[in-house]
Amino acid sequence: MLPPTSSVLFEDREILVLHRPGRSDHTLVTFADLTFRPAGHAFWGREAAEKLDLDTIGFVAKRENWFPVASVEAAAPAVRKALKPRSIGYGYSMGAYAALKHGRRLGLGGAIAVAPQVSISPTDVPWDTRFHRFHRPVPHQGMAVTAADLAPFTTVLADPYDPTDWHHAQLAAQAGGVHLLRTPLVGHFAIWLLAGSGALAEILPPALASDVAAMHAVLRARRARSGHWFRLMGRSALRLGHARLPERLWHRAVELGIPAGVIENERTEAMADRAHRLAVEGRREEAAAICRQLAALAGDGAGLIGRVAHILLHAGAAPEAEVAFRRAVAGRPTAADLHIGLSLALAAQQRHREAIEAARRGHAALPLETDLTTHLGHMLIAGGRAYLPEAETVFREVLQRRPATGQALHGLSIVLARRNEIEEALALARKAAYRMPGSHDVQAWLARLLSRSGDTTGAEQLFRRIVAEDPLRPEGHVGLSEVLAVVGRREEAVAAVEQGLAALPGNPALLAQERALAPRFPGLAGRLRRLFRARDQ
């Protein structure tokens, strides 16, 4: 039951909106992050609001829904009525998106958006796949943030060294009238710079006064005395390979009040960050060496062991990854990513039947986990024709629950194409490509089906786009060459292969396509064979 100081302004199946009256001369409107859920009178930022006695309206999402327009539009009249003359929105990540998207809709004077997304639509942000699975075409129609959505004074806090967050921040700025406040080297954790009521008390006055310079000054000053900033800087320093600097930074974090146990955990996470970075850079043995240290330190910590296992797999150490995944699955049998990882580790060792069995066991334990189920389907496809009926059943099972699941659409398309049901396979491939515009595997499959169905123009356009976006992907060059050869443009087909080999010298698929395009002289070859036979006789 809500205490008398709180009231429900609005509620529907997507959101809950609470109002906590306060003595401040302005209203703070907060939007909860991805993981925060309704629980009595709780809302994101309530503790700080109570300490400062702020008049506060809290939006809480009931699921990972990015605060759909229809629900916020329905809540807007009650919110506008409750607002004081001055108001400002405030949110982090998913909540930061809402602070941007609904600022004008709610009549807010300003907004502070910390590490926001400008959209999670695969069409709008194909390069950011983190949240595509939460996108729903109907409630999220027109999801991208535009100038018409923004409050009159809007600020975005983001890390310029985090490619994904900074890309979102720049897109928000391009929408118009957004001031970017840099939070360097904190990654997606920029919110820690504003942790606590003291930080909120410092940042709100300049934000309400639309004073960007003063907000910059507050953030700079807070960095110097924020234990969280030194904690995050230590993690970043270790990730980048510094030897002594991380410990100096963490020592300062402890002096500023961060518990030593938190720093110990941060050190472990930073080691994992470093291992992952090394694996991405191709320094596999160095990455594996750090992973071995972490595995020895992990004890029964299935979360850390699981992360180590994923890094080992990325580093090409599949046997060690298998051992780590088995250990992690034993500790966290309900973690779908661990079952997927174990299956992939077995497949990387060419133990395909065991890989399928591992995926089957995971699916049996977690039948509603979409990613795990679609992984099983794709492993079955890789197993060969005998497994295709089971793969079809698996993909249809997913699509019955979640019809817009891109990987399931893609997988079912492959199954049907193997049965020469090209028309339906092509329709599914189009849907998969729409859902997953950033997946070049999915786009290349659509291009191949377009070519098979006679639409060589569409196939050529898709392959050219893949080559332009990812010149290090051989499938794009090979596919483009094949399509050009089919329509009789042999010189262009050869040029496409040569372009691919310039980017990927020695690639087997490109060399095979080069051989396929080599001129053949059957008459001459036949005469030479007869000549050599006669000589041998």
Q: What does the domain layout of the chain look like in residue ranges?
A: 7-225, 439-537
Q: How many CB atoms lie within 10 A of CB 256?
A: 15
Helices (H) and strands (E) in the chain, counts: 24, 8
**Sign of the alpha-carbon dihedral angle for 143, 145, 150, 156:** positive
CATH 3.30.479.10 fits 7-225, yes or no: no
CATH code matching the domain that covers 439-537, chosen among 3.30.420.40, 2.60.40.10, 1.10.10.60, 1.25.40.10: 1.25.40.10
CA–CA gap between residue 271 and residue 276 (Å, rounded): 9
Structure tokens at 132: 């595509």
Let me know: does 318 contact 348? Beta carbons within 8 Å.
Answer: yes
Long-range contacts, stretch 349-354, CB < 8 angstroms, 24+ apart: 349/318, 349/319, 349/322, 352/379, 352/382, 352/383, 353/383
Angle between helices 352-365 and 336-348 (to 10 degrees): 170
The pLDDT, as a whole number, for residue 122 is 87
Nearest-CA neighbor of 418 among 365, 390, 381, 443?
A: 381
List C-alpha distances in Å: 319 to 68, 309, 323, 326, 411: 45, 10, 7, 11, 28
Nearest-CA neighbor of 15 among 58, 61, 57?
A: 61
Integer-rounded Cα Rg, in Å, for the chain is 28
The pLDDT, as a whole number, for residue 530 is 54
405: left (phi over 0), alpha (psi -120 to 50) or beta: beta
Is the pTM of the predicted complex or chain greater than 0.85? no
CA–CA gap between residue 228 and residue 222 (Å, rounded): 10
Report the SS3 class of residue 98. helix
Let me know: does 523 contact 493? Beta carbons within 8 Å.
Answer: no
Which H or E run contains 20? strand 15-20
The pLDDT, as a whole number, for residue 196 is 86
| Residue type present at position 450 | L
Let me know: does 401 contact 374? Beta carbons within 8 Å.
Answer: no
Let me know: does 459 contact 451? Beta carbons within 8 Å.
Answer: yes
Q: Which ranges of 148-243 would DSSP assign to H, the alpha helix?
A: 163-175, 197-208, 212-225, 227-239
* Torsions phi, psi for 389 (to 5 deg): -60, -40
The pLDDT, as a whole number, for residue 140 is 94
Let me know: does 400 contact 408? Beta carbons within 8 Å.
Answer: no
Q: What is the DSSP letter of 191?
A: G
Q: How many CB atoms lie within 10 A of CB 137?
A: 14
Structure tokens at 69: 């327009």
Q: What is the pLDDT along the chain (537 residues), one digit of tens a residue?
A: 444 478 999 999 999 999 999 999 999 999 999 999 999 999 999 999 999 999 999 999 999 999 999 999 999 999 999 999 999 999 999 999 999 999 999 999 999 999 999 999 988 998 898 998 898 888 999 999 999 999 999 999 999 999 999 999 999 999 988 999 999 988 899 998 898 899 999 999 999 999 999 999 999 998 888 999 999 999 999 999 998 999 999 999 999 999 999 999 999 999 999 999 999 999 999 999 999 999 998 888 889 999 999 999 999 999 999 999 999 999 999 999 999 999 999 999 999 999 999 999 999 999 999 999 999 999 999 999 999 999 999 999 999 999 989 999 999 999 999 999 999 999 999 999 988 888 899 999 999 999 999 999 999 999 999 999 889 999 999 999 999 999 999 999 999 999 999 999 999 999 999 999 987 655 545 554 555 555 554
End-to-end CA distance of the chain: 102
Nearest-CA neighbor of 27 among 99, 75, 95, 83?
A: 83
